[in-house]
Amino acid sequence: MSNAPFLDISHLTIAFPRSPLPVLNGVDLKIRRGEYVAVIGHSGCGKSTLLNVIAGLLKASAGGVVLEGKEVNQPGPDRAVVFQNHSLLPWLTCYENIRLAVDQTLSASLSKAERHAWTMENLELVRMSHAKDKRPNEISGGMKQRIGIARALAMKPKVLLLDEPFGALDALTRAHLQDQVMEIHARLGTTVMMITHDVDEAVLLSDRIVMLTNGPNAQVGEILDMDLPRPRDRLALAADPRFIAARAAVLEFLHHRHTAPGLVVA
């Protein structure tokens, strides 16, 4: 049996023509199947750039990404992205937004009746069956993100890429959606990479936290394994010494040890 990582990011460098330094420089990261990985760092460190390369939306300047033995060089349904902006089509209902993705990616493997059933199953997964006939302007921001997550999962991706999916939501809605994502991850075992600015969110949701140094020239500064059993209860974890220690470790990195190795900060 092969010991190759499920998602292999090797020596990844991203440089833009007008920038004297690369945004990301030599990023190495191996992700296991079913793992939930959070990537955190200060603004401008290249978190979203990294996600865009994995999504196939941006080409690497050097190095690359391999998913289950296949090089990533263009977008594909095996990598579904949920952005902070829900990106739903406003003229389609919630059901139709999900069904469109299902029809585009699974029409060769599922019959029309099966695609309908699968669309309804994903609506149920995010507890939005009651709103299937509503359009995006008729539902709340949190509900829109639920539909966005359902649409992504309905494509049966190998990797779910979340780019600050809860960043624009109020605290209560954010907490509800975090709990829901934990439930979905536990049920489906989907491999997830999430970009976030929120330390508590990273500690609560992930199996590992990847901390990037400041950009430009950002690198993986530290990777923290989360020694927290699942399922996780946010209220119980608030007083858990392991949660408190992990949170402190991430904060300490972000505030005191966030420059790339070998770089001198004046």
pLDDT band at 167 (very low <50, low <70, confident <90, very high): confident
Q: Within a domain: residue 121?
A: no
* Cα 251–chain centre separation: 20
* The two structure tokens encoding residue 184: 């979905």
In whole angstroms, give the CA distance from residue 14 to residue 108.
36
Average pLDDT, the chain: 91
Q: Within a domain: residue 67?
A: yes
Q: Within a domain: residue 264?
A: no
Q: Within a domain: residue 14?
A: yes
Residue 227 belongs to domain spanning: 7-78+157-256
What would the pLDDT profile of 70-88 be if each residue is shown by its tens digit?
A: 999 999 999 999 988 878 9
Share of the chain above pLDDT 90, in %: 82
In whole angstroms, give the CA distance from residue 227 to residue 215.
29
Q: Within a domain: residue 247?
A: yes
Q: Do 244 and 201 form a contact (C-beta atoms < 8 A)?
A: no
For position 44, which CATH number holds? Answer: 3.40.50.300
Q: Within a domain: residue 143?
A: no
What would the pLDDT profile of 29-54 be if each residue is shown by its tens digit?
A: 999 999 999 999 998 899 999 999 99
Residue of 87 and 24 predicted with greater confidence: 24
* Cα 228–chain centre separation: 19
Instruction: State the pTM of this model.
Output: 0.91
In whole angstroms, give the CA distance from residue 133 to residue 184.
23
User: What domain count does the chain have?
Assistant: 1
pLDDT band at 259 (very low <50, low <70, confident <90, very high): low
